[in-house]
Amino acid sequence: MEATSFCVFFIIIQENVRKSNCFGLKME
């Protein structure tokens, strides 16, 4: 669950840059 919050935070910083990486980490 913590990863989700971090993921969203990253998206806010780098919308499209970390978006892919964010989802990839969640899926893994």
Place of tokens 């806010």: 12
Determine the pLDDT at residue 19: 54
Distance from C-alpha of 14 to C-alpha of 21, rounded to nearest angstrom: 11
- Residue 22 neighbours by CB distance under 10 Å: 19
Q: What is the reported pLDDT for 14?
A: 64
List all residues 6 or more positions away from 4 whose beta carbon is below 8 Å from its beta carbon: 26
Task: Identify the pLDDT of residue 27.
Answer: 52
What is the phi/psi pair of residue 27, to 5°? -65, -40
Q: Model confidence over 1-28: pLDDT tens digits?
A: 465 666 666 666 666 555 555 555 555 4
